[in-house]
Amino acid sequence: MKNIFEAPFVREMERTTANMYRLGWDERNGGNISYMLDEALVGKYLDFNTVLRRIPTGFDAKELAGKIFIVTGTGKYFKNVDDDPETNLGIIRISENGLDAELLWGYKDGGRFTSELPSHLMSHIARLKADPKNRIIMHCHPDYTLAMTQVHEMEEKAVTRTLWGQMTESIVVFPDGVGVLPWMVCGTNEIGRATAEKMKDFRLVIWTLHGIYGAGRSMDEVFGLIETVEKAAKQYMLTLPYDKKQCISDEELVALAEQFGLTYRKDFLDLPQA
């Protein structure tokens, strides 16, 4: 067996959580990541016959039966993952009946996966239908995105249009736009179902007065999505007190979309009917 502490997926979780903490996206125990792993790769590091504990998932995750995830722990701080991955992370396999997570490694202090696991697993199910190569769900609390949810109308066409209008990269990076949920109690199956419903159409879902969810094939993709939304929200919030002279117009967004060959949410723009 190879050394699990040198596994690329453990290193990726360490690096990513450290970067997110450094950017201020994950205060205290804020944020969580789940990353669906390749079984053959995990098999080089762990013995699948050794199940350390069984932990109820809290809902029926049968659609993911047998799938293996590395997941941040509940109550754990992103700033500590790099120093002690075996306590702050866990590797789980969804049981055949979908009701349990079989712990294969980690949560060394008796801990368990993030309280947001239902939102994560339901989002994985939704994203895998939209993109079979999806692997990662990431949640965090970036400052300007969060601030924007206090002052902006929280409707997805309006939020997406504002973010696209702030800077050129926005529509290029998230041409599919952002989904929006109203404030809801977190950690519940209800917010999980609502998030997953949005994930059918969006890789990004903003939770009003809470944070953001991102989905993608790789850490770079998801991190980059959230980073770009946060940067656009920062432009919006930094310029909010001033008399704004311009933002990118609908016609200019169309020109960008054509230049980059984007499949984008045309219904989020107000263009004259052709």
Residues with catalytic roles = 116
Q: Which of 20, 25, 31, 135 binds ligand 2HA (CB under 6 A)?
A: 31
Contact call for residue 142 and ligand 2HA (CB under 6 A)? no
Contact pick of 32, 88, 149, 166 for ligand 2HA (by CB under 6 A): 32
Alpha carbon dihedral 81, 23, 163, 35, in 10-degree steps, equals -10
> In 3-state terms, what secondary structure has residue 223?
helix
Residue 86 in contact with residue 109, Cβ under 8 Å? no
The structure tokens listed for 202 are 């969006």
The torsion angles phi and psi of 96, rounded to 5 degrees, stand at -60, -40
**Site residues for Zn ion per CB under 5 A:** 211
| Residue among 31 and 175 whose Cβ is closer to ligand 2HA | 31
Which one, 186 or 262, has the nearer CB to ligand 2HA? Answer: 186
The CA distance from 58 to 101, in Å, is 10
Q: Which of 60, 224, 199 is nearest to 130 (CA)?
A: 199
Which of the listed partners (ligand 2HA, Zn ion, none) does 29 bind, with a CB threshold of 5 to 8 Å by partner kind?
Answer: ligand 2HA
Interface residue with ligand 2HA, options 16, 88, 114, 123 (CB under 6 A): 114
Distances (CA, A) of 149 to 158, 170, 180, 208: 12, 18, 10, 5
Which one of Zn ion, ligand 2HA, none is in contact with 230 (Cβ closer than 5 to 8 A by kind)? Answer: none
Structure tokens at 191: 């917010």
Q: What is the nearest approach in angstroms of ligand 2HA to the Cβ of residue 14?
A: 17
DSSP string across 131-182:
-TT--EEEEE--HHHHHHHHHS---HHHHHHHHHHH-THHHHH-TT--EEE-
Confirm or reject binding of residue 30 to ligand 2HA (CB under 6 A). yes
Examine residue 186 and tell whether it contacts ligand 2HA (CB under 6 A).
yes
Cβ proximity to ligand 2HA, 138 vs 219, nearer residue: 138
Residues 6+ apart with CB under 8 A from 2: 44, 45
Among 100, 116, 227, 230, binds ligand 2HA (CB under 6 A): 116
Only one of the segments 5-13, 28-36, 45-53, 166-174 lies at the binding site for ligand 2HA (rule: CB under 6 A); that segment is 28-36
> Is 230 near ligand 2HA (CB under 6 A)?
no
Closer residue to ligand 2HA (CB): 31 or 118: 31
Instruction: Name residue, tokens 């400052």.
Output: 143
**Shortest approach of ligand 2HA to residue 78 CB, angstroms?**
9
Q: What is the CA radius of gyration of the chain?
A: 19
In the list 7, 20, 21, 29, the residue contacting ligand 2HA (rule: CB under 6 A) is 29
Residue closer to ligand 2HA (CB basis): 116 or 230: 116
| Closest C-alpha to 143, from 33, 22, 25 | 25
Min separation Cβ 6 and Zn ion, Å: 30
Which spans of this chain sit near ligand 2HA (rule: CB under 6 A)? 29-32, 114-116, 139, 186
